[in-house]
Structure 1
Amino acid sequence: MTTADPTALPAASGAVAAPARPARKLTGRLGVGSIVFMVIAAAAPLTVVGGGFPVGALLGDGIGAPTMYLVGGAILLFFAVGLSTMSNYVPRPGAFFTYVGYGLGRPLGLAAAWLAILTYTTVQVAVYGYVGAVMSGYVVSLHGPTLPWFLYSLAMVAIVGLLGYRHIELSGKVLGVFLVCEIGVVLVLAGAVVATGGAEGLSVAPFNPTNVMSGAPALALMFALAGFIGFESTAIYRDEAKDPQKTIPRATYASLIIIAVFYTFASWALVMGIGPSHLMSELAKDPSAFIGTVTARYLGPVGGWIVNTLMITSMFACVLSFHNVITRYQHSMSNASVLPTALGKVHKTHRSPHASSIVQTITAAVLMIAFALFHLDPVLQVFTWFSGISTFAIVVLMGLTCLAVIAYFTAKKIKAGLWKTWIAPVIGFLGLAVVAVIIAQNFPLLIGDADAKGNPVFGTLTVTFLALMAAFPVFGIVQALVIKARKPAAYKNVIDTISTIEE
């Protein structure tokens, strides 16, 4: 049975009034620019262009890979329409789990919450592992000492934890500086390629349908979508935004469009820089060294050194941004009575979820130590395995959110426009469903579970990780049912006290 929320306006008005300010609410005056900085930093543009694109092109459709960033951006744009609309009618932080809870019911809301925690935690530790390996090699290349990768990872965890403990605006400023630098060097490189005419002349070969559909375009799309993880986190900063009703939707669209255009242009420039006919042979040598090779050719050794340095700062910006996202998810879940009360505390001076930040820092450190004790390779295992999990999970979360948007506006009979509440979310859901099927079929490749010929195999490793993924949302559903049975009053407070559709 559905109960009315005393703070809500009648459904016919098409809006839900903001609730009274809770005692543990985060505050801030983040503008569109600050949120966009943090979101794009989470996407790690230089890391995607220098690391994700070469692998996607090598395993996917070769020179046609740049187009997949446009395709991925288009799919996510339909998703963003529903996400932005929902953020105006459900004025609360929490993003995925809040929206799914409002649209599909509390049990699925908590399932989405735990799946989101898994998503952002795995992508964060994946990058921690990768940056540890990169920094270890980077220091050696500068004639420094040879140290284990996990020491660099732990140092990064500590620095991120310190920044995450303080006010969000400090993180925004740090991310802004790093983001400008990494985008700037890529644009300089792309400008040099365009100015010189590239290796074989400038062309639109990467957008030729024949090239786009060559090889394995499904794999290329999968890697392209992985580069967008983080853009959807704008809603989690709602309580810290200057004008949430305008800031959150604008930041969401701006982040997505900037990311899609940047990835497409930068990857096209790299293809032109090496030459379409030489792309695959160059990638086959070492995809991780590809952007350095192109940079050295057009910007010289100094340019190559700068790019390698900014790759590290790009990954740092990525983990810092995801740290902020995870701590705010935990904070919102605490205030929704599904995590310990302590995680919802807000620092008196920094106005940050400091307790949640400390827990997340400890979690990341413990995982890094565990990976080291099990002698896992930071790139081939830590990065590959956990980025595979996060990619699959985020697509499932987005698909659930599209369904939640449709269900919410249909049940509440809110007239917010057919395009925003039905057409765009349906198109977004269908696109994400197709991608989810593609990822499921190729999931073994994401975590390196393949036979001698490189074909995906659903072996022990794949089954273990899929079971892990399933365990998180199942735990959320069970938790909701347990709370409902044992503490009916507390159950009504789950998903920020407002009832969802009839259960």
Structure 2
Amino acid sequence: MSVPDPGAPAGDVSATLARARLGVWPVVFIVMAAAAPLTVVAGGATTGYAVTGVTGIPVAYLAVAVALGLFSVGYVAMSRRVVNSGAFYSYVSRGLGRVPGVGASFVAVVAYATMQVGLYGGFGAVLAGRLQDWLGWPVPWVVCAFAAWAVIAVLGVRRIDLNGRVLAVILLVEIAAAAVFAGVHLTHPADGGVTVDTLALSHLVGAGIGAALVTAVAGFVGFEGTAVFSEESKDPQRTVAKATYRAVAIIGLLYAFCAWAMSVATGPEHIVEAARADGTDLIFTLAAPYVGAFVVGLGQALFVTSLFAALLAFHHTVARYLFALGRERVLPAVLGRTSIRTRAPKVGSLVQSALAASVLVVYAVAGWDPIVHLFFWLTVAGGLGVLILMTTTSIAVIAYFTRPANRDSISVWRRLIAPALAATALLWILAATIGQFHTLLGVEPDDPLRWIFPSAYAVAAVLGMLWALLLRTAKPDVYTGIGRGANSVTTGPATPLGQPVSAPAANGR
């Protein structure tokens, strides 16, 4: 039985998430909503073409999908042994040790919070533009962003299965829309006809590929959230595995297909020019002559709802990371409180809402560009942070399964070969990304900005590790509980870090 936080008001909060609320497809819907397919196709792919000048964006999506498929093999194997909403944090803690684990947790919070806040810039600017076009209303972008913020602040403390249904509806409609627009593009190719030039493997060794790959990685961010919802899944041993593989496959094929289709419609040699001219409207302007104004308007509306769905999904992810760290007392215990009615991570959700509001106010007062400086820069920076986490986690999986006690029934493919291949591929992508980060930001090679974002994660990791060392000395009981998940708030002896942790028993609601 869980032990409530002594400082929590009776009947208001608890220290456990809702159990057995989510099946496989609801988890797929939530994490794919975070990946925001239509947002990536309309915004990420076109911006990738425009900013990097690389025509191989479609093959970059396929390459990243393969790398993340390999990563998922070890990730899923780990999820069956360690059921914890802390995901990356828990896996690194149990594979590489508590000190690196807390360092990873700080990186995770910064990465996901950055990603979520950055999406407000895209939502606010796009919705403001649509209202101007449709109704003639000149609404400031920050007003639109705060409208979304208010709804998400409420939904963030509601039942997760309710949020899953909302996201499922939005997701299915936006995937259908993306597929329809891609079909129109393919059936109306440029003068040269249908080509596969942008899918050529030669692009993977060309100039600017690092920037293209991090653009692709950013589009996948969210799929790994399957493990974040493991404690709320009906069958964590199977749900996380099925949801992870399905999400990677669907996302990868959809992104590559749609990005390729746009290049067919413009001609491979003109896709960069077209993306720079039309921006996020490219997917719609290419189809407009053939589908009519109503369909284009519907697609543009779905672009807005896609951004909203991603905002909501990432909000849930940040809240659950904060919950996991609060529950284990790595961060203030108040973050480990959940609503007794909905079992949502109430305090973590409210903290993320407060952070987002603060950033929006700063951007509005400073007059900074919401698309470039908030949406693009922060979501790309968030993608870089998640890439760092996935690379570290692949290494942690190998370390975890090298211990004889953890090898039982785990094949050498799942515990060693696939994670090693994933770590190699991800390290290569990470090195290429950091080396060409200035291209992605659109700044000169000697601009300090190219190092500020990567350095922020190094600082977060170091601070996290120093904090873990302090906990080891000042609060050894808290230090012992790092990475134990729900077991950190249960009675009974701690499970050694090298041993698997089973899913906690369901609590009454």
Pairwise same-fold verdict (TM > 0.5):
yes
Residue in 2 that maps onto 1:134: 126
Residue in 2 that maps onto 1:498: 495
2:412 to 418, 428, 434: 418
1:80-129 per-position Cα deviation (integer Å, ceiling 9, x unaligned): 11100000111222110000000111111011111000111111111101
Q: Distance in 2 between matches of 1:79 and 1:259?
A: 15
1:143-162 matches, cutoff 5 A: 143-162=135-154
The residue identity in structure 1 corresponding to 2:446 is: V
1:457 to 420, 435, 446: 446
2:476 to 484, 488, 492: 488
1:58-97 matches, cutoff 5 A: 58-60=50-52, 62-97=54-89
Contact 2:35 2:221 in 1 (8 A): yes
Q: Distance in 2 between matches of 1:108 and 1:275?
A: 47
Secondary structure at 2:139's aligned position in 1?
coil
Residues 1:392 and 2:384 aligned together? yes
Compute the displacement of 1:277 (Å): 4.2
Q: Distance in 2 between matches of 1:439 and 1:248?
A: 28
Secondary structure at 2:397's aligned position in 1?
helix
Judged with a 3 Å threshold, the aligned counterparts in structure 2 of structure 1 residues 197 and 380 are, in CA distance, closer, same or farther, namely closer
Contact 2:73 2:419 in 1 (8 A): yes
Residue in 2 that maps onto 1:14: none
1:22-421 matches, cutoff 5 A: 24-27=15-18, 28-60=20-52, 62-195=54-187, 200-210=192-202, 216-415=208-407, 416-421=410-415
Residues 1:427 and 2:427 aligned together? no
Residue in 1 that maps onto 2:436: 442
Q: Distance in 1 between matches of 2:451 and 2:184?
A: 46
| Greater shift in the superposed pair: 260-269 or 209-218 | 209-218
Q: TM-score scaled to structure 2, two decimals?
A: 0.89
Contact 1:39 1:255 in 2 (8 A): yes
Judged with a 3 Å threshold, the aligned counterparts in structure 2 of structure 1 residues 457 and 387 are, in CA distance, closer, same or farther, namely farther
Residue in 1 that maps onto 2:488: none
Judged with a 3 Å threshold, the aligned counterparts in structure 2 of structure 1 residues 405 and 214 are, in CA distance, closer, same or farther, namely closer
Contact 1:56 1:223 in 2 (8 A): yes
1:9-20 matches, cutoff 5 A: none
Q: Distance in 2 between matches of 1:193 and 1:138?
A: 23
Secondary structure at 2:194's aligned position in 1?
coil
1:270-323 per-position Cα deviation (integer Å, ceiling 9, x unaligned): 222233343233223233221121121332222221121111101000010000
Contact 1:60 1:218 in 2 (8 A): no
The residue identity in structure 1 corresponding to 2:464 is: G
Contact 1:406 1:421 in 2 (8 A): yes
Residues 1:475 and 2:486 aligned together? no
Q: Distance in 2 between matches of 1:380 and 1:197?
A: 30
Q: TM-score scaled to structure 1, two decimals?
A: 0.90
The residue identity in structure 2 corresponding to 1:153 is: A
Contact 1:104 1:501 in 2 (8 A): no
Judged with a 3 Å threshold, the aligned counterparts in structure 2 of structure 1 residues 212 and 432 are, in CA distance, closer, same or farther, namely closer
Q: Distance in 2 between matches of 1:111 and 1:174?
A: 34
Q: Distance in 1 between matches of 2:2 and 2:243?
A: 23
Contact 1:61 1:214 in 2 (8 A): no
Judged with a 3 Å threshold, the aligned counterparts in structure 2 of structure 1 residues 244 and 465 are, in CA distance, closer, same or farther, namely same
Q: Distance in 2 between matches of 1:303 and 1:108?
A: 50
Secondary structure at 1:260's aligned position in 2?
helix
Q: Distance in 1 between matches of 2:53 and 2:454?
A: 27
Secondary structure at 1:286's aligned position in 2?
helix
1:303-345 per-position Cα deviation (integer Å, ceiling 9, x unaligned): 2211211111010000100001111111111111112222212
Q: Distance in 2 between matches of 1:340 and 1:61?
A: 45
1:132-152 per-position Cα deviation (integer Å, ceiling 9, x unaligned): 111121111123432321121
Q: Distance in 2 between matches of 1:457 and 1:413?
A: 49
The residue identity in structure 1 corresponding to 2:226 is: T
Compute the displacement of 1:222 (Å): 2.2
Secondary structure at 1:227's aligned position in 2?
helix
| Greater shift in the superposed pair: 147-156 or 96-105 | 147-156
Q: Distance in 2 between matches of 1:80 and 1:145?
A: 46
The residue identity in structure 1 corresponding to 2:16 is: K
Count of paired positions = 477
Query: What is the root-mean-square deviation in Å for CA atoms of aligned residues?
Result: 2.0
Q: Distance in 2 between matches of 1:202 and 1:148?
A: 41
Judged with a 3 Å threshold, the aligned counterparts in structure 2 of structure 1 residues 245 and 147 are, in CA distance, closer, same or farther, namely same
Secondary structure at 1:94's aligned position in 2?
coil
The residue identity in structure 1 corresponding to 2:443 is: D
Contact 2:210 2:435 in 1 (8 A): no
Q: Distance in 2 between matches of 1:199 and 1:276?
A: 11
| Greater shift in the superposed pair: 193-202 or 174-183 | 193-202
Judged with a 3 Å threshold, the aligned counterparts in structure 2 of structure 1 residues 214 and 469 are, in CA distance, closer, same or farther, namely closer
Q: Distance in 1 between matches of 2:371 and 2:278?
A: 14
Residue in 2 that maps onto 1:15: none
Judged with a 3 Å threshold, the aligned counterparts in structure 2 of structure 1 residues 498 and 93 are, in CA distance, closer, same or farther, namely farther
Judged with a 3 Å threshold, the aligned counterparts in structure 2 of structure 1 residues 418 and 64 are, in CA distance, closer, same or farther, namely same
